[in-house]
A = this chain, B = another copy of it.
Amino acid sequence: ERADAATAPELPVIGFEPTEEQALVVETVRAFAEKELRPLARECDESRRIPRALLERAHELGLVANALPPEFGGGGERSAQTGALVAEELAWGDLSLALAILSPALTAFPVADFGSEAQKRELLPRYAGDAFVPGALALVEPRFGADPFRPETTARRDGKDWVLAGRKCLVPWLEGDGALLVSARENGAARLFLVRRDARGLGVTPERNLGIQALPTVELALDDVRVAEAARLGGERGADVASVVARGRVALAATGVGVARAAFEIARDYAKERHAFGAPIATKQAIAFKLADMAIEIDGARLLVWKAAWRLDQGGDALRDATLAYQQVRRVALQACDGAVQVLGGHGYTREYLPEMHLRNARGYAAFEALALV
């Protein structure tokens, strides 16, 4: 929204065009995704590794740093709208790499939003600095019916400290001295706590999942992890986890649109090249209509994401819009990726082509929560 300021009209009018600034950012990120991410996607998925150099190059784009407060070296350009546009483009390149590149925000944004002056002074300059510093946010719990609003991980007072106990999963764990945020229940409400990666009692087990294989994620066992009183975000009121969840859903939904778009484009191009019965298979209605439906649903889902992002930038309660957009993207991305595999037929089932990876990644939206933030 701030990014719009320059060109926005005095009175609101319904519109669907990114500002010139936003268009420029999108263009830059898309080029980066095409040149740096897409070519690495398969290799990183198979090897379950991300080249450090890539993260550093991505960091130079300042996608996270630009959104941090200027007082701490950031660009002060925080905009959920712009964030959503960026997230889609990066994920169009590759979801695992996109989540890795945006991971600093997982720590930096909540600290910027709810951190104390001291916490901001300690952490934000690092995230706004020259080197890539990974972030991590532990919201998801490895159990049936995991609920970010009602974590089973508990935080109890013990003297001046907080003692955290419970389990988390799907926590990004990129190399580097990044700070970790953990959600825990403190008399009824979910709150966020800063935890050092090397904290005593913190058990860290690498995970393997159906998708996002390139992104290193871990399961955390918090066995009475003790943190200082100041480690709790948000002062008296505590951090507003609902807003973190909403921002997570908008960011993730935006990546989901990118994944779906990537799968759609591959299917579309394959269908035009691949011949059967003497004509491109794209000339068959069964294929053509499937592609048309994908295109319609992807465009529609994107607009839902944009509206939720716009709501966030308006400062209103965006949880409903964010949740509806996220649920829609979850459906649309899965269908688009499954449809892409189908269009490619036998080839779609092989790892020679990307759609099978998109399908595995897309299914992840049934498990993800706050794996990215705007």
Cα A285 to Cα B284 in complex, Å, equals 7
For chain A, the bracket of interface size reads: under 10
Cα A289 to Cα B289 in complex, Å, equals 11
> Is A286 an interface residue, CB under 8 A from the partner?
yes
Number of this chain's copies in the assembly equals 2
Contacts of A286 in B (CB 8 A): 285-286, 289
Nearest B residue to A284, CB-CB = B285
Cα A121 to Cα B24 in complex, Å, equals 87
Nearest B residue to A287, CB-CB = B285
- In chain A, residues 270-285, which have Cβ atoms closer than 8 Å to a Cβ of chain B? 284-285
Nearest B residue to A289, CB-CB = B286
Scan A157-169; emit 1 where CB is below 8 A from any B CB, else 0: 0000000000000
Minimum distance in angstroms from A136 CB to a CB of chain B? 43
Contacts of A284 in B (CB 8 A): 285
Minimum distance in angstroms from A293 CB to a CB of chain B? 11
Minimum distance in angstroms from A17 CB to a CB of chain B? 33
Cα A284 to Cα B289 in complex, Å, equals 11
Minimum distance in angstroms from A73 CB to a CB of chain B? 57
Minimum distance in angstroms from A79 CB to a CB of chain B? 42
Interface residues of A (CB under 8 A from B): 284-286, 289
What are 6 A-B pairs with beta-carbon distances under 8 A?
A284-B285, A285-B285, A285-B286, A285-B289, A286-B286, A286-B289
